[in-house]
Amino acid sequence: MQTPAKKSRQDIRYSLIEIMTGSDLSRRRLAMMQASSPKSGPVVWLTACGHGDEVGGVVVIQEVFRMIRKYPLLQGRVNAFPLMNPLGLDLITRNITMSGEDLNRAFPGNRNGSLAQRIAFKIFNRITKSPPALVVDLHNDWRGSIPYTVLDPDPGPPNEEAYAKAREFAKMAGFALIRETEGAGEEKLSRRTLSGSLLHHGIPAITLELGEAFVVNERNIGYGVRSLWTILSSLGMVGPIGEPFRYPLPEEAMDRELRYSQEPLSTTSGIIRFLSKAGDLVKPGQAVARIYNAFGRNLETIAARERALVLGHSDSSVAFPGVPVMAFGVFPEDPPPVTNQPS
């Protein structure tokens, strides 16, 4: 077990990378953090706040670096972009405010492209110069969601080795392991996210969804820090502190690779009343939510299509046709889907 060091020759630096200059000549910059051991070893990158309303990951990275000050790196280097979208954070909005773009759909970026592509280019190029043993991109999800790890679709040849390593790190993170679906649309999208784009460039990368957005949830911060410390420990970069991290999941969901799904979607408008909460296991045909009109009439009962772990439900209790109501991690050996039950 690693103990606090009285003195360390490790190097911790903070720097700023230019993004743009405003019309009032103010400068907008990316914060970058670096912790380096005097002993060479693996390089790990941590990134957060690609979406400006997802602030939890920023604090997780701050806390990891605080831990590294107390328990210095044994080897290697940890780099971080704790705040990739400062333009969105200023107004607590998901996208880049000036252009309305989603930064996490702009990778690997373009030096001469749109504003999001230019920022993505700076981030992506700085990361890939290392090259890293792993990149962990931190996000937040719906209100009340449980934390979980996302593994992008398999990029295929010639990046099988990077994907295999990412898969091992995803299991090691200690959360429910959720595999993104591999349909044509999702595969195309994965090439534009940070983690998916890195995999397509042969670099192991995973995403941690650490609960609700907008606010700092201290419990989820603790989970995130412990998960990342377990990963760093597995690489021999830090000593273990306690047991490897494991998020408390139902036994049936432990060590399973589940498929992400937001189906079934609502088919009507109304007020949602949720019947299942994040972390629950549900069976095919089980009612998970009901939608009511203004007079309290039950318009629709939404039933789980497959055996699944509930990851979370929408931030709003207002339903519209074709809009997701809940997110699930679906078990791999499911029977044919069941349909919603009209009321």
**Rounded Cα gap, residues 260 and 59, in angstroms:** 26
Q: State pLDDT tens for residues 53-92.
A: 999 999 999 999 999 999 999 999 999 999 999 999 988 9
Q: Do 197 and 321 share a domain, yes or no?
A: no
The DSSP 8-state label assigned to residue 188 in this structure reads: H
CATH number of domain containing 187: 3.40.630.10
- 274: domain CATH number is 2.40.50
Express each pLDDT in 153-180 by its tens digit.
999 999 999 999 999 999 999 999 999 8
What would the mean pLDDT of 190-214 be, rounded to a whole number? 95
The least confident of 24-28, 260-264, 272-276, 302-306 is 24-28
Report the domain count for the chain. Answer: 2
Cα–Cα distance measured from residue 204 to residue 194, given in angstroms and rounded to the nearest whole number: 11
CA distance 294 to 315: 20
Kindly tell me the burial class for residue 286, based on how many C-beta atoms sit within 10 Å of its own C-beta (0-12, 13-18, 19 or more). middle
Residues 243, 317 within the same domain: no
The average pLDDT across 190-218 equals 95
Residue 132 sits in which domain range? Answer: 11-248
Question: Given this model, what pLDDT does residue 42 score?
Answer: 98
Same domain, yes or no: 114 and 157: yes
- Residues 212, 331, single domain; the answer is no
pLDDT at 32 exceeding the cut of 80: yes
Q: pLDDT tens digits for 234-243?
A: 999 999 998 9
> Do the domain assignments include residue 3?
no
User: What is the average pLDDT across 312-337?
Assistant: 87
**Average confidence (pLDDT) over 37-48:** 97
**Order of all β-strands in the sheet with 134-141:** 11-21, 27-36, 77-81, 43-48, 134-141, 205-212, 148-151, 176-179, 257-261, 326-330, 308-313, 281-282
Pair 201, 324 in one domain:
no
Average pLDDT over residues 273-285: 96
pLDDT tens digits, residue range 243-253? 999 999 999 99
Query: Of 219, 248, 277, at which residue does a domain stop?
Result: 248
Q: Decide if pLDDT at 296 tops 70.
A: yes
pLDDT surpassing 50 at residue 342: no
Confidence of residue 343 (pLDDT cuts 50, 70, 90): very low
* 80 and 192 belong to one structural domain: yes
